[in-house]
Amino acid sequence: MPDAGYVTIGKVVKRLQAEYPDLSVSKVRYLEDEGLLTPSRTSGGYRLYSQHDIRRLEAILYLQKNRFLPLQVIREELDKADAGEPSLLDSLNRVDASTTPVSGPSPLATPLPTSHTAVEDVDSQDVVEKFHPINHVPELIGVPVSFVRQLSEAGVITMRRSPRGRDLVDGRDFALIRACNELGRYGIQPKNLRWYVQAANRESGTFEQALVSFGARRGGGVEAEDTPEQRQQFDNALNNMLALTDAVRDTLIRRRLKSPHDGPETR
């Protein structure tokens, strides 16, 4: 019988949304469907998450957000940790909840080591909200200038030209650039990402129509200042739609890549 240390899925999402704004109940359920989480169940079928389950979810979200790792790689790291083998999760000070008090340090207290040689916090507001000369990018995020130019040529990012003729990179694109750079480990190059740009252009139109229908955005060219409540409604709706479409996209890709011998068993 679960004790008082267990919480519902809604409370888990609410607790972690400050750090991971795009987290939703649907996404947590998707991670469960993928076998990365195994919460307890009440007799009525409701999910209950232990402190260990929450730390495990935090680790998954951290590896997705900060290391841009696909779920398959994260699953392998979790399996290593569960088997007591060295894994990336060791850097998160993540140990089994049975040996770590709930009031102990957060599993994310120690950032994961990265392959970058950044000399400052590239996720800070001062860095993100500025344009940076392209020749400064290697020292900021450890990505070669040539790679950044390839992303620009593929349409993944858009650079700006300074009055002095220098190419400037938007700090808001740094996370995207790092994600694309990590994809290179799997042989996915900037030229292979062109269709993602095309798909994003198409999807943005679909999202725009859906948000108007949902009431989170005005249509018909109406110009009016949004209230904080309307902006929050828009952000919540968009975040949930992105999480749901990500889940659909992941499932469809996995289905296409699945071996024909991996079908459901017959009895």
Residue 109 maps to a domain: no
In a domain, 175, yes or no: yes
CA angle 151–153–154, rounded 5-degree value: 65
Q: Assess if residue 173 is contained within a domain.
A: yes
In the structure, what pLDDT confidence band is assigned to residue 262 with cuts at 50, 70 and 90?
Answer: low
Whether the predicted pLDDT of 15 surpasses 50? yes
Give yes or no: residues 11 and 86 share one domain: yes
Query: Is 61 inside a domain boundary?
Result: yes
Query: Which of residues 167, 186, 205 is at a domain's end?
Result: 186
Whether the per-residue pLDDT at 179 is higher than 80: the answer is yes
**Which phi and psi angles does 164 have, rounded to 5°?**
-90, 5
What CATH number has the domain bearing residue 177? 1.10.1660.10
Tell me the torsion sign for CA atoms 83, 85, 91, 97: positive
Residue 3 has pLDDT above 60, yes or no: no
Higher pLDDT, 13 or 123: 13
Residue 47: its H or E element: strand 47-49
Q: How confident is the model at residue 173 (pLDDT cuts 50, 70, 90)?
A: very high
At 169 the pLDDT is 94
Q: Which domain holds residue 73?
A: 7-92
pLDDT, one tens digit per residue, over 49-82 is 998 899 999 999 988 888 878 888 888 888 888 8
How would residue 142 be classed by pLDDT, with cut points 50, 70 and 90? Answer: confident
How many domains does the structure of the chain reveal?
3
Average pLDDT over residues 20-32: 88
pLDDT of 186 above 70: yes
Same domain, 36 and 77: yes
In a domain, 245, yes or no: yes
* Distance (Å, whole) CA 96 – CA 93: 10
Distance (Å, whole) CA 257 – CA 110:
35
